[in-house]
Structure 1
């Protein structure tokens, strides 16, 4: 009997210590991974365990329909997406956009990506929120050329929109407030993310090429880009005169009514910049290479030019490295496809 007891006790001890050893190994591997040591794919262990939960905001989905719907324009030919094209980084591929009746706008269409946290909208900063910004293109006679009252009338007469607005906002009829909040809700979802640069920041040391890595150092140093293009959205949110060709467009000065703001324009985000050519408020340059060359020369001549704009003395390889870094700011966010419209 005693021998049987000893045998059972021995088996129990073996099982207990073996199980403890396995638990210890698992625990230590978990600690090792969470310390940031990459796995075989070059990504942190913790990142490989991330689960993305996608939630759908009905208001944003409604705003998406409105964003792509030419019903907002006077003649039903122009939508927000006509100028903020998804395939071009939600910007336009023309120097200036084309509105109703083939009319040309005055400025280049900036990207709609990463506008959620901006203090100022439009190149001259005349709007201070996405909601305020929404009505500008609709009422602009060159862009959509429509009265908001007419837009509301069309939406209220549309059974699909009338039902959807009533379901979401619990009020009828459709109002200006509901219209702008729906579109702004969609615009807030337009976030460029998971770029090579983002992966680099997350700990993937192999995410940036050698050239892009050198470009990052130049961006933060010799090239002085970070003086204006800073923060997660790569913009200081301010206004600067970089010496572009002088025209009748006085930029921020028209809004601030201050001479010191003459021909100053808002610093754009650099997120998705590789996809948003042509560049600057006038669509002046077609390529990133031309933009870098312009800055390298110190910009153009203008009495009101920002004093920071001086020759950079970058050699050809350094200019290429800067371009490589800028291209690393292209995200891997899900592709946004036009919705099915009910009319």
Structure 2
């Protein structure tokens, strides 16, 4: 009789193992790489939580269990919408490098799918062979769509990349754009230029919580740096400008910033300058128009890149460029998921992310919620985009205090601790904070062949 009792669990275990092997099979190697990746993500149950309208399991209608399932799905979609990635894979178009970095990190860490999910859905756990398929696919996608020719071979598959020394521009337009960038006639009272809030000698910012426009009026959001803005996928914290030209067209007509009623007024004022008009028409034959003015400013701003930071030199293979503490800081930067959003040449600027993923930043801030706090929601009006902002680039971050869209953090140490707390759910030690800050300080690059500095910090 005892043998029968022992035999039953053994048989059940064997049956369970056989069933697991049957339902948990890697994609066929005969499939194209994209189809393998699509099937892998679908089988892992990613679309059960990380889409707007998840396909919930039958037990989602049960009391208690259903509430837990629905909450997991809500939090999953809040953190990451996988639909654009799946659509890109199916269409054969480039997947966002942020999405690549996020999926890569959870696969490396083994944190997705969650244990409680694949214990119920046996076929959803990711096998070691599937991890290899996924990580190789991500590596190949990076190489094809986000090439990294400047990096040493060992860093070729990093989520971040060195900045090129220069990019192709129309020099004639750059000269005109630089003149316009510093021209106070773009403001109604001749007191404010682009450089007023985005000084090239002050890290591309003004180091104020909120910038001052005409008549001393203050805006409601911290001015982001103009340096390396060329690499951002959109402009402004809320992403309302798709290009640098679109961005350049905003402040002149903003009643707080520059105060003009229309670009016709600006064009008429500039047309009074005969010498400038002559030079402008040599490049833009149709003369002063909003499109031409913003195009020239855009071309100038495309030159505002800052290569050759110490971190760039490290990525290119100069191991002596960073200290051990700074290298440890970079490893922590990746360990704590910073490099899943702060990707690419600019270490950011490629996605919208929620401010307060792991904690209520705004409740803890304990000040009135403003329109600017709504972030991307200002433009889309969708609930998911409330408190979601374009991720800032981190280059030259040591020069651009104060930090965050609300300019409430005066030091890098404060900003780093808050990011870890509210985005990752981690309370950093003093040592970890110091190591991360030391790494971030290596991101200061060069402008016109000299290390970028900030006159406000001398």
How far 1:241 moved relative to its partner? Answer: 2.4
- Contact between 2:416 and 2:437, CA under 8 Å: does it hold in 1? yes
Partner of 2:216: 102
- Contact between 2:444 and 2:451, CA under 8 Å: does it hold in 1? no
1:72-83 equivalence runs, <5 A: 72-83=186-197
How far 1:242 moved relative to its partner? Answer: 2.0
How far 1:281 moved relative to its partner? Answer: 0.7
Structure of higher CA gyration radius: 1
Distance in 1 separating the partners of 2:362 and 2:442: 29
Matched, 1:282 2:396: no
TM-score, with normalisation over the residues of structure 1? 0.76
Partner of 2:40: none
Matched, 1:232 2:356: no
Matched, 1:189 2:303: yes
Specify the SS of the correspondent of 2:279.
helix
Distance in 1 separating the partners of 2:344 and 2:279: 37
Distance in 1 separating the partners of 2:281 and 2:287: 8
Distance in 2 separating the partners of 1:213 and 1:312: 20
Partner of 2:279: 164
- Contact between 1:93 and 1:276, CA under 8 Å: does it hold in 2? yes
Q: Where does the alignment leave 5 or more consecutive residues of structure 1 unmatched?
A: 1-35, 37-50, 300-308, 338-343
Distance in 2 separating the partners of 1:144 and 1:158: 20
Partner of 1:120: 234
- Contact between 2:343 and 2:350, CA under 8 Å: does it hold in 1? no
Distance in 2 separating the partners of 1:162 and 1:254: 38
How far 1:119 moved relative to its partner? Answer: 2.1
How far 1:114 moved relative to its partner? Answer: 1.3
Matched, 1:248 2:370: yes
| Structure with more contact order per residue of length (Cα contacts < 8 Å, sep ≥ 6) | 1
Distance in 1 separating the partners of 2:303 and 2:312: 18
Aligned Cα RMSD in Å?
2.2
Partner of 2:102: none
Partner of 1:340: none
How far 1:236 moved relative to its partner? Answer: 5.2
Distance in 2 separating the partners of 1:175 and 1:53: 26
Partner of 2:269: 154
Distance in 2 separating the partners of 1:62 and 1:92: 23
- Contact between 2:240 and 2:379, CA under 8 Å: does it hold in 1? yes
